Structure 1
Amino acid sequence: MKRGNEMRALWMLACVVAACGTVERKEPDHVGPDTPSAAEANVDEGGEVRTQKPGAPVKVEGRLASSSAVLTIDFEESASEVSVEVWGVDGLVVTSAKEPVQNREFGRGEKASVEVSFTAPATRADLAVRVRGTFDGRVRERVQSFTVNAEAPSLTQPPGEVRMGPDGRPVRVMRPE
């Protein structure tokens, strides 16, 4: 009786292992109104097409120094009720206003400049920015981050171990709990 249970367990395990990794990823059959076309999609160094989440039609650029940043926000469409929020991640502390832009209007092609002061740790940290407003009658937002001390090690190490996958790309391997 015990041998029969072991054989059933092994058979079920074999079925599970056989099923892992055999399902091919299905590409979407439709394109929604906010889905960028292949021409609008981003292409990384490996030639892989990466799409961007639909968000506020703004471009955010940042010039970082050791304890400050100048953010330039370029509005690609007119917007009302615009707010800009900034915060720190992994030990970075924003010392200037957390919401330097509140309830403002911007026209298409207009640029806004925001100065941010912060205290950065000796480790790698990020300055995060959220631009939120009403564009063409819809509330939309864009969140972007800028790395401070990019050469320094991270404050928190992600769990698991990084190994090279069969395609030569790094893969994080997690230990079972």
Structure 2
Amino acid sequence: MRKNKAETEKTIQDLIVIARQHFTVHGYANVSLEEIVKEAGLTRGALYHHFNNKKGLFLAVFEAVQKEVGDHVESAAAKSDDSWDQLINGCQAFLEGAVESQNQYILLIDGPAVLGWEMFRKMDEKYSMNSLREQLQHMQEQHFIKPVSIEALTHCLSGAMNEAILWIANHLDQKKSVIEETMIVLQYLLEGVRK
């Protein structure tokens, strides 16, 4: 029984890895499920058993990318014991992770288009905004942030970063300097709520 569960999990992960490569290179609309199952050495029925359809497979890939970016943010934030540094490090890691070449098309282009705005926001909430909200709440409890609405602050900061990601993605030839410019502006914005 354990072997079957482990084999099933491996099959699912293999499909996600292969599909991610295809979605990254070709974009959702140009990806053929036949190519994915052929590369995975599976049948189309096996794919449908685990993901129901192409959109279900894309959602699994999208979640894997979101989780990976979220882990990158957490890791960068953990490099400091200072709450402000954790917030700044996390913001920068989010910007850097979202515009990585293997993430851009999935997160910035196909994500909202394929999943729809409501599902896209739900995934953003689950993998990005919840961590940001927790950090801001913790900082307010430690009296590092003025008594403002943490919910409003979370949405404003998340929205600013999501828009900045789109801007950065259009200037990848200057990625490093554009991220630095964005971080300067984000720090100025955050100084406004610093206690």
TM over 0.5: no
Give the greater-gyration-radius structure (CA).
Answer: 1
TM-score w.r.t. the length of structure 1 is 0.27
